[in-house]
A = this chain, B = another copy of it.
């Protein structure tokens, strides 16, 4: 056992382990790519929700951050980050929170894709003497929110904001359907679709005499697959910081890049079924079964030894709240109790790092030296 692995034996299980060597490598890889493509990089902190992780991203060269909740924005602002994009469509009821952050000095940008919210933002801003910076959300792949680049609504929303006294900061899009792809060609095509759609929206606004300084695109798969980011000013991505089995199946990382794992203990067996029972159930792994429809279904996760090395062919094939069922893929292990005795410590790589992280109030960050540090994680809204 390496020194690094040995230090994990002191932890109670289940625990969320961050391999900081892998995490730093993932951060450097993405930042270097963005630097080479000549765009700013604005990581999405919804994956880690952790001050120490975000600090590492900023230190590596990130320009501001993206958040998925205003609570994340408040925490990151308290940590000294001012350039923050709240990436979920604004509604009237959340404007007081956004205003409060701006009044404290936070350079918070907000997002909308509809006239009703645009009107509410402009009216609330006028009432409080605050020119909100608003980015218009563009739909480049039909998977969720946003205005299609060719829709007339783009001008309606922009005009309401511009004439209502808000500041038109730019356009942003997220090609989340890239998660459904798994070939370099398809990913590159989706990256180009994301880029071209968002760039087109910006162009149309500018042609209409409206300001659109920022063109913001991104998802982890497209960010790592784009051949050109012409006309794009910044990229956003989240899950790359830890990666996970879904991203491994998409093809943008290897299993050996996954920086988040759940430390667990073997607590029992059903030997005649080839099962070992571990104390990481779905409460630890989350209910995310994102690899179910992908080319390799990892159940609730890939089993690794305490040193983080994959144990090929063994997955969490089932999960109850606090019980995980470990078994061999494609054929029973008739010697499961011998291979995984009671008390064995294992690390399970998750399907989806954002979902698994959310199950834990703290991460245990494991350094190359074996030193373990507790890093707090934000929970709730």
Residues of A within 8 A of B (CB): 12-15, 46, 68-69, 88-94, 97, 113-114, 116-117, 120, 139, 142, 144-145, 176, 265-270, 273, 277, 279, 282-284, 286-289, 320-323, 325, 341-343, 352, 354-355, 358-362, 379-381
CB-based contact B267/A117 at 8 Å: yes
Please give 5 more A-B residue pairs, beta carbons under 8 A apart, in addition to A120-B342, A287-B288: A90-B267, A114-B269, A116-B343, A282-B355, A289-B289
B residues near A380, Cβ cutoff 8 Å: 359-362
Name 18 A/B residue pairs within 8 A (Cβ), A-sorted.
Answer: A12-B93, A88-B322, A89-B268, A90-B267, A91-B266, A91-B279, A113-B268, A114-B268, A114-B342, A116-B343, A117-B342, A120-B342, A139-B270, A144-B270, A282-B288, A321-B354, A358-B359, A360-B380
B residues near A142, Cβ cutoff 8 Å: 273
CB-based contact A116/B341 at 8 Å: yes
CB-based contact A117/B268 at 8 Å: yes
B residues near A93, Cβ cutoff 8 Å: 12-13, 265, 343
What separation, in Å, do the CA atoms of A89 and B323 have in the docked complex? 9
Q: Dominant SS at the A interface? A: loop
Closest to A11 in B: B93
Q: Contacts A92-B343, A322-B88 given; indicate if A277 touches B145 (C-beta within 8 A).
A: yes
What separation, in Å, do the CA atoms of A207 and B328 have in the docked complex? 38
Closest to A47 in B: B321
Closest-CB distance, A288 to chain B (whole angstroms): 4
Q: How many copies of this chain? A: 2
Closest-CB distance, A276 to chain B (whole angstroms): 11
What separation, in Å, do the CA atoms of A116 and B343 have in the docked complex? 9
CB-based contact A277/B361 at 8 Å: no
B residues near A361, Cβ cutoff 8 Å: 379-380
B residues near A113, Cβ cutoff 8 Å: 268
Closest-CB distance, A301 to chain B (whole angstroms): 13
Closest-CB distance, A336 to chain B (whole angstroms): 12
B residues near A270, Cβ cutoff 8 Å: 139, 144-145
B residues near A342, Cβ cutoff 8 Å: 91, 114, 116-117, 120
B residues near A287, Cβ cutoff 8 Å: 286-289, 352, 355
Question: Which of B15, B267, B323 contacts A381, CB < 8 Å?
Answer: B15
Closest to A69 in B: B322
B residues near A381, Cβ cutoff 8 Å: 12-15, 284
What separation, in Å, do the CA atoms of A176 and B94 have in the docked complex? 41
What separation, in Å, do the CA atoms of A13 and B92 have in the docked complex? 12
Closest-CB distance, A378 to chain B (whole angstroms): 10
B residues near A320, Cβ cutoff 8 Å: 144, 176
The 8 lowest CB-CB distance pairs between A and B, nearest first, are A287-B287, A361-B380, A116-B342, A89-B267, A287-B288, A68-B322, A89-B268, A91-B267
Closest to A70 in B: B12
Question: Which of B89, B117, B321 contacts A46, CB < 8 Å?
Answer: B321
B residues near A265, Cβ cutoff 8 Å: 91, 93
What separation, in Å, do the CA atoms of A323 and B91 have in the docked complex? 13
B residues near A120, Cβ cutoff 8 Å: 342-343
Closest to A362 in B: B380
B residues near A89, Cβ cutoff 8 Å: 267-268, 277
Q: Contacts A341-B116, A359-B358 given; indicate if A144 touches B321 (C-beta within 8 A).
A: no
CB-based contact A323/B379 at 8 Å: no
Closest-CB distance, A328 to chain B (whole angstroms): 18
What separation, in Å, do the CA atoms of A1 and B367 have in the docked complex? 55
Closest to A379 in B: B361
Question: Which of B91, B144, B352 contacts A325, CB < 8 Å?
Answer: B144
